[in-house]
A and B are shown apart, each in its own frame.
Chain A
Amino acid sequence: MTMTPGLRKFALTVHLTFSVGWIGAVVAYLALVFTAITRQDAQTLRTAWIAMEWTGWFAIVPLALASLLTGLVMSLGTKWGLFRHYWVLVSLVLTTVATAVLLQHMQTVTFFAGVARETTLSSADIDGLRGGLRGELLHAGVGLLVLLVIQVMNVYKPVGMTPYGWRKQHEQRMARATETTR
């Protein structure tokens, strides 16, 4: 199931767009977190949490799912395969874990954004919203690091074939050798 060169280039463009867009959306999210941490006023804090929820659900989550999906298409539609090379396998695992953690963590963000939307907030609520930002810094920061690792791996493609990939390659070579000797 190998794609034609034209289709492969188009699929690669789409995959890169979603993947790099995911990184950009996380950077934008971190900018909101930093703004909320450094500014002391409650209004900025509330607005930041609501903006973080929207950025998460309407930018980061769709881009993450699209990146994962197009990555699967790229792997299965090219000679790289999904389980043949370590860099593809590691990228797949990291992307899947990052997406799962993101979807789980967005529940927390939605909760805090809900608190931020309340008309009147006590000082304890404000403290809660402010305390929640530490978790955002951690999750988004580690998430960005993971995405950058995936990005570097996808560009450099470190050499290394899995036992499954090696077996497949060996079988293909044997089949070709058999054909030429006939």
Chain B
Amino acid sequence: MSQTHSEPDRGSVPPPTPRWVKVFGIIVIVLVLLIGIMIVTGVGGEHGPGRHAPPTLPTELSTQQP
């Protein structure tokens, strides 16, 4: 935050949203949707330690994890 640069003066009209913000927003929305779909459909498996733990550990998982 040490450098400064001025915004172009566009008079009394608010500047349009920059292209990099739009591209960034689209990427984030796609990633969030993908993660959401994976969680809802269970494609990615259970989230947390239970996802990787062997079936012999369910008691520990259910008692130690909130």
Contacts and interface: CB of A to CB of B under 8 A. Distances in A.
Contacts of B1: 12, 15, 74-75, 78, 80, 154, 157
Interface in B11-40: 12, 14-15, 17-18, 20-21, 24
A50 B17 CA distance: 46
Interface stretch (A20-28, A29-37, A40-48, A121-129): A121-129
B3 interface: yes
B63 to A, nearest CB: 11
Contacts of B14: 163, 166-167
* Residue of B4, B53, B60 contacting most chain A CB atoms (<10 Å): B53
Contact of B49 (A80, A108, A127, A158): A108
Contacts of B4: 79
Contacts of B55: 124
B49 to A, nearest CB: 5
Contacts of A159: 5, 7-8, 18
B61 to A, nearest CB: 8
Contacts of A107: 48, 65-66
A132 B53 CA distance: 7
Nearest first, the 7 closest Cβ-Cβ pairs linking A and B are A131-B52, A160-B18, A124-B54, A124-B56, A128-B53, A132-B52, A111-B49
Interface of A: 9, 12, 15, 74-75, 78-80, 86, 90, 107-108, 111-112, 114-115, 122, 124-125, 127-128, 131-135, 154, 157-161, 163, 166-167, 169-170
